[in-house]
Amino acid sequence: MLMQTVAGKLMKVFLTRRIPPEGMKILSAAGVCEVSQWDSDEPVQRADLLKGVQGAHGLLCLLSDKIDAEVLDAAGPNLKVISTLSVGYDHLAIDEIKKRGIRVGYTPDVLTDATAELTVALLLATARRLPEGVEEVKNGGWSSWKPLWLCGYGLSGSTVGVIGLGRIGMAIARRLMPFGVKRLLYSGRTAKDYAAEVNGEYVPLDTLVSESDFIVVSCSLTPETQGMCDKAFFSKMKNTGVFVNSSRGTVVNQEDLYEALSSGQIAAAGLDVTTPEPLPTNHPLLTLKNCVVLPHIGSATYSTRGIMGALSAQNLLGGLQGTDMPSELTF
């Protein structure tokens, strides 16, 4: 049985996974809760989640844990706070949580820089065909110099379109501009004053898609953005266009993306998020040389994950004790 209990008999807390040690230290030092933990790096099974939350005052979960009415019912009336070790919260049944007066903590801002760095790395790796290059070195495909071998697309003089110029979108834009980007287009619900820092031009989505050499998706998952990147979207892109998504997998229709990539409708795609996650190893996208898929590692730096662990623990304690939470989600 993968359960671990930390001594102390006060408020009961259930952790759905092993979390970074920075977070565990904070919970242990506080001395206000008894911690039960699904002691694994793998996701908790549904039955064990429903059992683990019974009578809990606090729940610390991850993006992969679906926290719905069934889980809330299983927890019972003691549940005061849900702290998620993520910036996203589409795995939480917000309406149900709000109805029951449960507070929610999350970890925004702290992963902005790490995710922006990874997105830029993914864009460069995709546009300049780095994984292909590495493979050619390993399999003996590297022979004499050839003028057009492994040629890709550069950022200098290009037009970049960012869909969703929020915290992460802006951090990506700031990092891309020094590469010599000529125009920075962005789309979203509203124009942003701070876009002036990167000379951002607020344009309709169709304009962004048709005029951009590189398209970076960094928007939130909403009913409007779900499945937004579909056949019609890709058909408006340049044939030389490079598409990058580090937001949520369900923003993209992957069948339509496969068709666009395999037919030459667009040049290449880089994904740090997919549907489902993990992506099955026999998925058609993984057969394509012009599609780079990463295993959702946007925030994966040691320091960022440590800060996320600490923040999720502080949010949990704030909710348990009825005090301020460093990062509370407002409904």
Angle of helix 302-321 versus helix 21-30 axis, rounded to 10? 30
Placement of tokens 């398209």 in the chain: 215
All residues at 6 or more sequence positions from 95 whose CB lies less than 8 Å from its CB, including other chains:
none
Task: Identify any residues that bridge with 38 across adjacent strands, giving them in sequence order.
Answer: 3
Q: What is the Cα–Cα distance from 199 to 191, expressed in whole angstroms?
A: 12
Residue of 258, 259, 210 lying closest to 236 (CA atoms): 210
Within 8 A by CB and 6+ apart from 296, the residues are 272, 273, 274, 277
- Select from 270, 269, 273 the least CA-distant residue to 249: 273
- Contact between 127 and 268 (Cβ < 8 Å): yes
Burial of 144 (0-12, 13-18, 19+ CB in 10 A): exposed
In the chain, the amino acid numbered 240 is: T
**Torsions phi, psi for 131 (to 5 deg):** -60, -40
Please report, for the chain, how many H helices and E strands are present, in that order. Answer: 11, 13
User: What is the DSSP annotation of 63-100?
Assistant: TTS-B-HHHHHHH-TT--EEEESSS--TTB-HHHHHHT
**Active-site positions?**
296
- The structure tokens listed for 328 are 């509370």
What's the distance, Cα to Cα, between the start and end of the chain in Å? Answer: 37
